[in-house]
Chain A
Amino acid sequence: MTPQHTAPFPRIRTVGLDGLLISFADTMAESSNRAALAFRDAIDTSRWEGVIETSASLASAYVRFDPINLPHSEIQARVEQLLQQQDWYQAPLPSGRRLWKVPTVYGGELAPQLDEAAAAAGLSPTDAIQRLGDSRVRVLTIGFAPGQPYLGPLGPEFNIPRLKELNPMVPEGALVLAISQFVLFSGPTPTGWRHVGQTAFRCFRPEALQSFALRPGDEMQFLPVSRDDLEDIRAANDGSGGATCEEIPA
């Protein structure tokens, strides 16, 4: 075996037989996520023959390819050349991004850990709801479950730890919070994050023509509404959760 030694960022490493991971940091930051999204977009735009699929995680771009027709040495050289073309940490975000505004019930029975999260952030529940509702967050990456976004960054006051004991089950549409990020759950799941809001937004709609609502790089805002408002939205039952969606000008 050949150990891969630590190199400065950006750093190119292999993933199994047929993948390369281009990492821009080993911690989550706005600029490294921006670099990952922009670089993944640049690989897609390059349309290299032999590339099978790409994705972006919090701080890395991933490319899977056919190593028989696009040998490692060849794609590695192309990736290095592309990396040198610009400062990816300053790159503009991919075009075609959208802003989603999603009605959200904060706290109460539907989102029972809001008060606890507010206390951990050193805020009153009212202040926490206002700050969270005002925050415009980016889809940093989609993963773990189909269509499920990791969203951030939230302000540093929300850099609160994950729970020691798992939340046994939160429902689809739950908005959970930890480490200055939200996750909007695409299905019922146990979690170590605090359940602060509840939406009727479905991230994964297998029965719909467009099965996935969100794309990495999209932005979201979770606007406070009352429980009655959410019940009315649920009655419409179209999966959109009453969200509005607008293009973000490039």
Chain B
Amino acid sequence: MSLLVHQIGPACTLQDQGRAGFLDQGLSRSGAADQLALHEGAALLGQSPDCAALEMAGMGGTFEATQPVTIALTGAPMQASIDGSPIVWNASHVLEAGQRLTIGAVQQGNYGYLHVGGGIDAPLFLESRSAHLTAKVGRAAQAGDLLPIGPYSGSAGMKLRPDDRFAGGGLRALASFQTPLFDQETLDRFARTVFRRGTRANRMGMQLDSEGKGFAAKGQLDILSEVITPGDIQMTGTGNPFILLPECQTTGGYPRIATVLPCDLPRAAQTPAGGPLQFTFVTMDQAVALHATYLADLSRLRAQVEPLVRDPHDIADLLSYQLIGGVISATD
């Protein structure tokens, strides 16, 4: 069983929770830029968050099911339709054999996700299905690809109401081991500044713009290269910050002023160009408590899905709706 790709945007890759354990080999985790969206898709389909999904940066594609499949759409909202009839984002749907799912441009945020019941069953590489393009692991999806689908026996027609995380906002951050390289004046100014996401952004990292002078560290250019983790806020030589994302390098010499908490990384990654971002330092105790809440929220997602009630007014042509097909696939 598979999903045939007819058309596809330039930056769509398979992503799961990423691969841990290869940092010592210079390979960073990769995985979905918005991990919350991965969990939301799993909750909508009633399956494991370990399943791989298609991450679509900015633009989706056109897909055709070779057999009936169940899909879910999460993350940055994009225009989506099945055979021309609009479908709801943050919801699960049935795509019958031969039907075309069209996902267009992003309306808010950056990364949308297409999940399938059973997960996209591509071969594992080093225990993960995540592409890591900067490490030349995997490749972007292309027209003509057949995305293999794993076995699945669940159903569709559910929705979630996630909080808006697609327009920037506040990010909680922790002091890290290189924070003391910055003087107090610089740290205070950093926390007061409202940044705008710059135009340079990909799965390695995203640039932050601000008015006024940069945020340089003392002795910035001669420090020993040390470990880098996703969420680190790294300064370039001119003191211009980047938030590092799942395909970041594993080690580097430019200093990090702070680290964004994992619970706020989805919001960071989804901030569109020009979107405002501001950092608040929290203590380690606060950070651990916030992290525990985040993990508990992820495990509660499945209890929060609710039936997708179809409003006949939203359906352009009620008679063409595949009511019978849905019944058949649900009882197979």
Q: Which of A16, A28, A141, A206 is within 8 Å of B125, CB to CB?
A: A206
With both chains docked as a complex, state the minimum distance between the C-beta of A94 and any C-beta of chain B, in angstroms.
Answer: 12
**Residues of B contacting A72 in the complex (Cβ-Cβ under 8 angstroms):** 284, 288
Q: How large is the interface on B (under 10, 10 to 19, 20 to 34, 35 or more residues)?
A: 35 or more
Query: Chain A: interface secondary structure?
Result: loop
With both chains docked as a complex, state the minimum distance between the C-beta of B219 and any C-beta of chain A, in angstroms.
Answer: 10
B213-259 CB contacts (< 8 Å) to partner A:
223-227, 229, 231-232, 249-252, 258-259
B251 and A16 contact, CB distance less than 8 A: no
A2 and B20 contact, CB distance less than 8 A: no
Query: Chain B: interface secondary structure?
Result: mixed
A55 and B177 contact, CB distance less than 8 A: no
**Residues of B contacting A211 in the complex (Cβ-Cβ under 8 angstroms):** 25, 126
* A23–B283 CA distance with the chains assembled, in angstroms: 22
Q: Is A4 interfacial (CB 8 A cutoff)?
A: yes
The total of interchain contacts (Cβ-Cβ below 8 angstroms) comes to 138
B108-163 CB contacts (< 8 Å) to partner A:
125-126, 135-137
B225 and A68 contact, CB distance less than 8 A: no
A143 and B231 contact, CB distance less than 8 A: no
**Residues of A contacting B126 in the complex (Cβ-Cβ under 8 angstroms):** 211
A187 and B175 contact, CB distance less than 8 A: no
Q: Which of B26, B224, B291 is within 8 Å of A59, CB to CB?
A: B224
**Residues of B contacting A27 in the complex (Cβ-Cβ under 8 angstroms):** 224
* A204–B250 CA distance with the chains assembled, in angstroms: 15
With both chains docked as a complex, state the minimum distance between the C-beta of B236 and any C-beta of chain A, in angstroms.
Answer: 15
Q: Is B12 interfacial (CB 8 A cutoff)?
A: no
* A62–B229 CA distance with the chains assembled, in angstroms: 11
0 or 1 for each of A58-73: is its CB under 8 Å from B? (1 = yes): 1110101001100110
27 pairs from A and B in contact (CB 8 Å cutoff): A1-B187, A2-B283, A3-B180, A14-B174, A14-B176, A16-B174, A16-B231, A17-B288, A17-B291, A53-B24, A54-B23, A55-B250, A56-B24, A57-B251, A59-B224, A64-B23, A68-B288, A142-B25, A142-B26, A144-B26, A144-B225, A146-B26, A146-B27, A146-B136, A147-B25, A147-B26, A147-B27
B residues in contact (CB < 8 Å) with A: 20-27, 125-126, 135-137, 174-177, 179-180, 184, 187, 223-227, 229, 231-232, 249-252, 258-259, 261-262, 281-284, 287-288, 291-292, 295
Known: A5-B180, A15-B227, A186-B26. 5 other contacts (CB 8 A): A14-B175, A15-B177, A16-B176, A17-B288, A144-B252
